[in-house]
């Protein structure tokens, strides 16, 4: 079954053709990051306008690269939640139009479920159940993936998401948006023991995260140094900060896996591209867990992951009627659309 998949929840206009949830026939991503960098973050209205401009070309290219026409696809999948509402609406309405015109089923896909599904593309043998750490610019969740479309969150951030924590610290160091990626690269040449940072815990919730204190600690450290006219090493600061964030993520993730008895561990989302997170988990998991990580090119937002998850939503009968709407905030465990 060939699915044409569309993703427009944030600042990437993306489309892909995916066969049977696992085989990527094409995957086109048009990034707007250069434009948003001017403002230090994503400007929602600009994002919506750029999606509107790019979407026809991106979908067309995805079909062409897959050597396919609209007639040759079996369904249209689209990210309908969560995300920037104006951005989502562009993809949702476009997908609805395509589905109506081609008389192909319309499959609504939750963005975080799609991130998890990027692993089905990278690892053909991977099947639920497993425990997944979903870390992106907007979310930090530990998710029990009981089945392809049945999940529950057992740990979450109380404040900033991991990606946000990286981006905000990077910004304080003068690294342009989205600084998480650059911070990771700079950290490779730094000493992670040069500065000490707290490892915040949430009382009574051992799997929850809290990154805002860590972010404040790095901002205070920089301001103090600047006020005193003292130098600080950006690579050392990046390395020490990255170590602190990654330790919080891996400690809670491993603890929850041990407590709940999961042996298969998976990571997903933009931050799953982080070099230290990947190395640390490889080391910690090598004796007692099977670890799965998406290939780096599938960690960030893309259409292929939407096509992968779309396939399993379709098998479950999750097909929407034409009243499908975009939703800015929606738990990963919930479906919120009128079924056909």
Which residues would be at the binding site for ligand KG4 (CB under 6 A)?
10, 136-138, 163, 166-167, 178, 180-181, 184, 269-271, 273-274, 300-301
- Alpha-carbon torsion (171, 173, 174, 180), positive or negative: negative
Closest approach, Cβ 237 to ligand KG4, in A, equals: 15
Residue 245 C-beta: closest distance to ligand KG4, Å: 8
CB 270 within 8 A of CB 301: yes
The piece of 129-137, 157-165, 277-285, 322-330 that touches Zn ion (CB under 5 A) is 129-137
> Tokens 């750490």 — which residue?
133
**Least distance from C-beta 325 to Zn ion, angstroms?**
20
Residues that bind Zn ion (rule: CB under 5 A) add up to a total of 2
Q: Which is nearer to ligand KG4, 98 or 187 (CB)?
A: 187
Return the number of the residue (91 or 180) whose C-beta is nearest ligand KG4: 180
CA angle 117, 122, 125 (to 5 degrees): 85
Q: Which is nearer to ligand KG4, 80 or 166 (CB)?
A: 166
Q: Which of 278, 12, 34 is nearest to 135 (CA)?
A: 278
For the bound state, the minimum distance from the C-beta of residue 256 to ligand KG4, rounded and expressed in Å, comes to 21
Q: Where are the alpha helices (DSSP H) in 123-209?
A: 162-172, 179-187
Matching residue, tokens 């160091």: 173
Residue 179 C-beta: closest distance to ligand KG4, Å: 6
Least separation in angstroms between residue 261's CB and ligand KG4 is: 28
- Choose among Zn ion, ligand KG4, none what residue 144 binds, the Cβ cut-off being 5 to 8 Å by kind: none
The Cα–Cα gap between 8 and 111 comes to 10
The reply to whether 313 sits near Zn ion by the rule CB under 5 A is no
Q: Which is nearer to ligand KG4, 181 or 304 (CB)?
A: 181
- Stated as kind and residue range, the H or E segment containing 97 is helix 85-102
Between 66 and 305, CB nearer to ligand KG4: 305
Spatial separation of the C-alpha atoms in residues 87 and 141, rounded to whole Å: 23
Q: Which two tokens stand for residue 29?
A: 């991503």
Q: How far is CA 192 from the centre of its chain?
A: 26
Residue 82 partner contact from Zn ion, ligand KG4, none using kind-dependent CB cut-offs of 5 to 8 Å: none
Is cis: bond before 225, omega within 30 of 0?
A: no
Single out the residue of 11, 144, 301, 313 in contact with Zn ion (rule: CB under 5 A). Answer: 301
Cβ 299 to Zn ion, closest distance in Å? 9
Residue number with CB closer to Zn ion (122 or 240): 122
Taking the least distance from each CB to ligand KG4, the nearer of 99 and 178 is 178
Q: Within 13 Å, how many C-alpha atoms sit on residue 214's CB side?
A: 37
User: From the CB of 301, what's the least distance to Zn ion, in Å?
Assistant: 4
Phi and psi angles of residue 334, each rounded to the nearest 5 degrees, phi first: -105, 145
Residue 99 or 136: the one with the smaller Cβ distance to ligand KG4 is 136
Chain center to CA of 165: 14
Instruction: Report the length, in residues, of the chain.
Output: 340
Least distance to ligand KG4 from the beta carbon of 145, Å? 17
- The set of residues, in sequence order, having a beta carbon less than 8 Å from that of 83 and lying 6+ positions away, is 8, 9, 10, 111, 138, 326, 328
Q: Which of 136, 252, 264, 272 binds Zn ion (CB under 5 A)?
A: 136
In terms of Cβ atoms closer than 10 Å to its own Cβ (0-12, 13-18, 19+), residue 191 is middle
d(CA 274, CA 134): 12
Nearer to ligand KG4, 133 or 273 (CB): 273
- 128 touches which of ligand KG4, Zn ion, none (CB within 5 to 8 A by kind)? none
Give me the residues that bind Zn ion (CB under 5 A), please.
136, 301
């Amino acid at each position: 079954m060939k699915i044409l998949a569309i993703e427009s929840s944030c600042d990437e206009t993306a489309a892909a053709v995916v066969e049977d949830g696992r085989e990527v026939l094409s995957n086109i991503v048009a990034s707007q990051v250069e434009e948003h960098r001017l403002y230090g973050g994503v400007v929602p209205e600009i994002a919506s306008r750029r999606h509107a401009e790019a979407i026809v070309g991106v979908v067309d290219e995805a079909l062409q690269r897959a050597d396919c026409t609209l007639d040759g696809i079996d369904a249209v999948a689209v990210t309908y939640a969560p995300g920037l509402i104006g951005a989502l609406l562009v993809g949702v309405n476009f997908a609805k139009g395509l589905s109506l015109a081609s008389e192909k089923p319309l499959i609504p896909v939750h963005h975080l479920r799609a991130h998890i599904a990027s692993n089905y593309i990278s690892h053909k043998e991977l099947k639920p159940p497993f425990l997944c750490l979903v870390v992106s610019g907007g979310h930090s969740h530990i998710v029990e993936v009981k089945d392809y479309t049945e999940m529950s969150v057992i740990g979450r951030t109380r404040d900033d998401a991991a990606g946000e924590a990286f981006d905000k610290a990077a910004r304080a160091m003068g690294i342009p948006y989205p600084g998480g990626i650059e911070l990771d690269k700079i950290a490779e040449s730094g000493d992670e023991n040069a500065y000490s940072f707290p490892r915040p815990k949430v009382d009574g919730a051992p799997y929850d995260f809290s990154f805002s204190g860590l972010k404040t600690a790095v901002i205070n450290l920089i301001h103090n140094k600047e006020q005193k006219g003292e130098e600080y090493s950006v690579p050392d600061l990046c390395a020490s900060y990255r170590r602190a964030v990654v330790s919080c993520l891996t400690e809670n993730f491993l603890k929850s896996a041990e407590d709940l008895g999961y042996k298969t561990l998976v990571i997903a989302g933009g931050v799953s591209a982080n070099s230290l997170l990947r190395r640390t988990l490889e080391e910690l998991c090598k004796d007692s867990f099977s670890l799965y990580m998406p290939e780096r090119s599938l960690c960030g937002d893309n259409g292929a992951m939407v096509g992968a998850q779309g396939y399993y939503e379709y098998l479950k009968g999750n097909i929407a009627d034409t009243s499908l709407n975009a939703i800015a905030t929606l738990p990963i465990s919930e479906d919120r659309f009128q079924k056909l």
